[in-house]
Amino acid sequence: MDFAAERSQINVDHKSLSSVAGQDVVVIGGGFGGLSTACYLADADANVTLIEKNKQLGGRASRLETDGFRFDMGPSWYLMPDVFERFFAHFDRDVEDYYTLSRLDPHYRIFFKDGDQVDLVPDVEQNKELFESYEPGAGEALEAYLKESKQNYEIGMEHFVYTDRPRFRDYMDLDVLRYSWGLSLIGSMQGHVEDYFDHPKLQQIMQYTLVFLGGSPYNTPALYNLMSHVDFNMGVYYPDGGIGAVVDGIVELGAELGVEYVTDQPVTEIAGRRGGFAVRTATGDEYLADLVVSDADYAHTEQELLPPEKRQYDADYWESRTYAPSAFLLYLGVEGDVEPLAHHTLVLPTEWDGHFEQIFDRPAWPDDPAYYLCVPSKTDDTVAPEGHSNLFALVPIAPGLDDTESLRAEYRDQVLEDIAANTGVDLRDRIVFERMFSVNDFADRYNSMKGTALGMAHTLRQTALFRPPHHSKAVDGLYFTGSYTTPGIGVPMCLISGQLTAEQMAD
């Protein structure tokens, strides 16, 4: 069945980028933020070279391919289709010029660990009935919640996400105050959701999207209820070939616009050179530039690529930030199918505070994990050999957690047992390929601070103007993009950060 997806009208003008024409720019890091910035700059006739540490472009959205299985190693939820449409439209292209999308039905399935199971589907009326079945009046409450969430999304995207407000005084403006009026800015998501729903399972359903922001219901501002508009109203999509196909599309677009890509070359130093920069790599190569943009993790760029006098923040600053979770990831190729798992499945303990506590308050490998299972072979028969399924399990864990071979092996067994016990799918005797990826891999592969999977969490003190700036205050001509900057975490946000960074460079 085809369900009409909601689209929101966001009216924002692009600023002119013409002043970067002819400038030599080096972009460090080929995640979505770096790829996006490179496209905007090359389109404005800058000479752009993007240098990536790893063999693949895409950053956290790398791909693992082996024995006929293909895994997206990081992002797997394609949300906010309007942001991608808007991105490609800037370059007079359509999404369909690069990849095709299918809307998932169900959007996702939840197994509660008490044996209960629910599907969240594209049909809003069906979701209302589901809510009503848990609590009288919850169907209407869902409608009201989504109405508010839609309003927050539209105001938020137009006036705060696409419109960068890096300084406090940018908020001291009558128009901004007018737009902010009615936005649920104050309080935590926990309190906000409790205002609408009493049933703990309904509260969990409305809060799980916070995992995308790297927060918990207690430390994420209520404003982020806009995420419910994203998944309930706008829908959950799958790009054929997986998120890797989106990376390929944007890399191809960049090449068409003139971006030069250099891979497998870690940058080791950003040095000043005659009014510009010399960017040096581990292979001993040097790239001269008028302007530099880093999409590598902000803390790594500041602390390891710049000399101390050129850093905006000291080590204490980075040490004291609230980081989004790292993850324990288990990529599995298995024989046979994995009914009753859906393309996206969440497995949630009915009491999940313990898991959040073991991420944010008392770091430890979660005793009773809340986790996510992704089975793209449900939708796409090119990602696993015939008669097989590809699947990954993602358990959010505390950043910086002790990560040893033996701890991983123990946890792997615990997770496989938990999947069997709570979904009925016992994978243990039919695994033909497996790979684990966790804290140390995030640190090694992406130079990620404390092995965080996502970067800086969206707590109130790390949102909007409180995130590190796009423009270095210590070095003229040095810029930052990607998830550490505004608007923040997630593929769509990183695409937008590319636009905001390019606009600041052209200011």
Which residues form the interface with ligand FAD (CB under 6 A)? 28-34, 51-54, 59-61, 74-77, 79, 266-267, 295-296, 300, 327, 394, 446-447, 453-454, 482-483, 489-491, 494
Asked whether 210 and 224 are in contact (CB, 8 A), the reply is: yes
Query: Residue 81: is the preceding peptide bond cis (ω within 30°)?
Result: no
At a CB cut-off of 8 Å and minimum separation 6, what does 484 contact?
297, 298, 299, 455, 456, 467, 468
Other C-beta atoms lying within 10 Å of the C-beta of residue 278: 16
Q: Round to whole Å and give the CA distance between 75 and 383.
A: 15
CA-based R_g, the chain, Å? 22
CB 458 → ligand FAD: shortest distance, Å?
A: 11
For residues 66 and 55, give the distance between their C-alpha atoms in angstroms, rounded to a whole number: 16
Nearer to ligand FAD, 347 or 453 (CB): 453
DSSP bridge pairs for 289: 277
Rounded to the nearest whole angstrom, what is the least distance from the CB of residue 231 to ligand FAD in the complex? 11
Smallest distance, ligand FAD to C-beta of residue 172, A: 29
Q: Which amino acid is at 311?
A: R
Q: How far is the CB of 128 from ligand FAD (least distance, A)?
A: 26
Residue 197 or 328: the one with the smaller Cβ distance to ligand FAD is 328
H-helix segments, 174-288 = 174-180, 189-196, 200-207, 226-228, 243-257
Residue 320 burial (C-beta neighbours within 10 Å; 0-12, 13-18, 19+): exposed
Q: Name the minimum Å distance from CB 176 to ligand FAD.
A: 26
How near is the Cβ of 191 to ligand FAD at its closest, in Å? 26
Nearer to ligand FAD, 114 or 264 (CB): 264
> 303 or 389, CB closer to ligand FAD?
303
| Residue among 33 and 139 whose Cβ is closer to ligand FAD | 33
Q: At what angle do helices 491-506 and 81-90 cross, to 10 degrees?
A: 30
C-beta of 139 vs 451, nearer to ligand FAD: 451
Residue 329 beta carbon to ligand FAD: minimum distance, rounded to whole angstroms: 6
In eight-state DSSP terms, residue 221 is: B
Specify the residue, 73 or 146, whose C-beta has the smaller distance to ligand FAD. Answer: 73
Q: How far is the CB of 75 from ligand FAD (least distance, A)?
A: 3
CB-wise, 196 or 408, nearer to ligand FAD? 408
> What are the start-end ranges of the H helices in 258-400?
298-300, 315-320, 353-360
Q: What is the DSSP letter of 209?
A: G
